[in-house]
Amino acid sequence: MTRIKTKINVKKVGILLKPRATSEYHSVLPNLVSWLEKRKIQIFFSTLEEERIKKISKGLSSKVSYIDLISLHQKMDLNITLGGDGTLLGFGRLATKTSAPVFGVNMGNLGFITEFSKSEFFEELAIILNTKFSVKKVPLYKVQVHRNEKKTHEAFFLNDIVVSKNDISRIFSLSVENDEELIYNISGDGLIVSSPIGSTAYSLAAGGPILSPEVNALVLTPICPHSLTHRPIVINDKKAIKIKVPLKSHNVIMTLDGQEVAELSPRSVITISKSKTRFLKIITNPERTYFQTIKDKFTQGRRSF
């Protein structure tokens, strides 16, 4: 991950919403649209949101436009996600090196990579529209699945990929390699391969380490391994990781960022590599640091439910 300082002339802004939610936007969304309109900024939503926008506020439809998700990445000067980490991740998986920077607003409680709270973001947004601001460039990781040397699936993740069974409490085996060298054959409930920003998500809950986002690495975290020796491993992300599904393993799935799911056939080979051309530009909050966020969000017994 790298950090840059930049200044943009914002004329077009895209707004992304948390899937299926409506009630939490009744006040904040009309206020945001009005705030942007006063600054002569065009406002765009995904074409998938048109019906929901009408439910949130009938007066909004005439003030905004609708385009597809790829165009939000490529044609906007700035995108704003209103939701949580999942909202940002779902949109961010489509990012390319030319995508507009993303201003992530946390509408809930935990929010780790969404750096601005719903109570403060108007003030911070005003600063971003008028001065230079800091952006962190977070790499995407490419996942390719092959079977009998034929590619069957390709996708990207920001946080993690999880290979697991689509059955309850059924142990299965996986073979894991790095740069063609065997790391281990594991038996258990599955494996998490996590990026640095994803190290505080499922991997952490499964016993994996926290990685600073400045570290160029991936974490391999076994899920309930049926062994005393299979521990989480941190490896350099410059070389590809291969995960092989054995011949007799059925009902195996892979999940990307907890959102995108694909079935894996026996003898499938998953190759994970750091993308050289795709990354997400996330606007950083100058009032927050990484370790301060860890202390604020994960202090034992203080998270609200």
Assess whether 85 carries a catalytic annotation: yes
- State the pLDDT at residue 210: 94
Strands 12-17, 150-157: parallel, antiparallel or unpaired by DSSP? unpaired
Phi, psi of 247 (to 5 degrees): -60, -40
Nearest to 274 by CA among 197, 217, 214, 211: 217
Task: For the chain, give every residue range classified as CATH 2.60.200.30.
Answer: 140-276
Q: Is 177 exposed, middle or buried (0-12, 13-18, 19+ CB in 10 A)?
A: middle
Pull the structure tokens for residue 261. Answer: 């799911």
The architecture CATH gives domain 140-276: Sandwich (2.60)
E strands along 18-149, which residues?
42-46, 65-67, 78-83, 102-106, 116-117, 133-147
- State the pLDDT at residue 303: 52
- State the pLDDT at residue 235: 96
Q: Is 49 exposed, middle or buried (0-12, 13-18, 19+ CB in 10 A)?
A: middle
Question: Under CATH, what is the fold of the domain 2-131?
Answer: Rossmann fold (3.40.50)
Q: Considering the candidates 68, 85, 167, 257, report the single residue annotated as catalytic.
A: 85
What stretches in the chain show pLDDT beneath 70? 109-110, 168-169, 299-305
In DSSP terms, which residues pair with 6 in a beta bridge? 133
Rounded to the nearest 10 degrees, what angle do helices 121-130 and 28-38 cross at?
20
- State the pLDDT at residue 249: 82
What would the 3-class secondary structure string for 222-252 be? EECCCCCCCCCEEEECCCCEEEECCCCCCCE
Phi, psi of 212 (to 5 degrees): -65, 140
DSSP secondary structure code for residue 31 in this structure: H
- State the pLDDT at residue 301: 45
Task: For the chain, give every residue range classified as CATH 3.40.50.10330.
Answer: 2-131
Rounded to a whole number of angstroms, the distance between the first and last alpha carbons of the chain is 31
CB atoms within 10 A of CB 206: 20
Q: Distance of alpha carbon 20 from its chain centroid, rounded?
A: 18
- State the pLDDT at residue 39: 94
Residue showing tokens 């990026």: 195
- Please, are residues 26 and 56 in contact by the beta-carbon 8 Å criterion? yes
- State the pLDDT at residue 145: 98
